[in-house]
Amino acid sequence: MKRLLVTIALLVTTGDAIAQINESDTTKFQLRSSITGNYQKGNVEVLTIKGKVDFSYSPFKNLVFKSQNNSLYQEFYSVEADNDIFSRNYIYYKPTTTVYPFAIAYISTNYRRKVNMRYFTGGGLTYQLLNKKLHNIKVSVSAVYESTKFNDSTYNYVEYNGNDRINLWRGTLYIGGWHYLADKHLRLFYDAFWQPAFNKYNNYRNQLDIGIDFPIWKGLNFNTIYTYTHENVTVQKIKQDDKILTFGLSYNLKIK
């Protein structure tokens, strides 16, 4: 519950948008955050809060730091079901060019999947397929070293049994973008990635986020977001797939 309250406080004080921060934008500082969720009590008792805080900062002309952070909290009949954090952090060099390099550091937890802590670090290249005022599409490839500490040591693939920590190298294929449609009255945004292990064919994961922003008033938006995740290697009796559909409000901020 403490993490839930911190997330709410952060989002209330920074309020901003859900679509991706564009590191190729020449804006010096960008900040976007959102909060979505629902609360129901009676025959069914459910509390869900999903938060997102993204920002980018360019201290020098050719260098950009970007951070993407998510938090998910859920409980059913006052029993905690999710209490997760997810943080991806990048350093980009010359991100206004068509092809540019980056370094990445990632940290996450996942209560439902019994992941106590996961981190990876590495680097790669991004290619801008489209970078226009109303449309943006990017793809990237990277290699990372990953370490995951689980809250168990029995898995759906027996070859991993007996170890509560799995370390390996992964590749990552990523695509993301956004598009203004209907004369800027609607914005579609999405990102997806696939992460196979280099030496374990059965150890891979993928994720898809897709959503829509509806402008309301002076940067304030209503948004809906669908998230699908698949993790092929899981602790025994943990499902490989998760699907979440959420609704909420967002607000945009840029500082030149």
Q: What is the pLDDT of residue 252?
A: 63
Contact 224, 235 (CB under 8 A): no
CATH of the domain at 6: 2.40.160.40
Quote the distance between the C-alpha of residue 137 and its chain's center. 17
Contact 29, 16 (CB under 8 A): no
pTM over 0.85: no
Contact 68, 51 (CB under 8 A): no
What is the band of 183 on the pLDDT scale with cuts at 50, 70, 90? confident
Half-sphere exposure for 254 (CA within 13 Å, toward CB): 10
Decide which of 1 and 109 is more confident.
109
Task: Share the mean pLDDT of the chain.
Answer: 84
Q: What is the pLDDT of residue 14?
A: 33
Q: For residue 145, which amino acid is it?
A: Y
Quote the distance between the C-alpha of residue 120 and its chain's center. 14
78: containing domain: 2-255
Contact 109, 115 (CB under 8 A): yes
Count of the separate structural domains present in the chain = 1
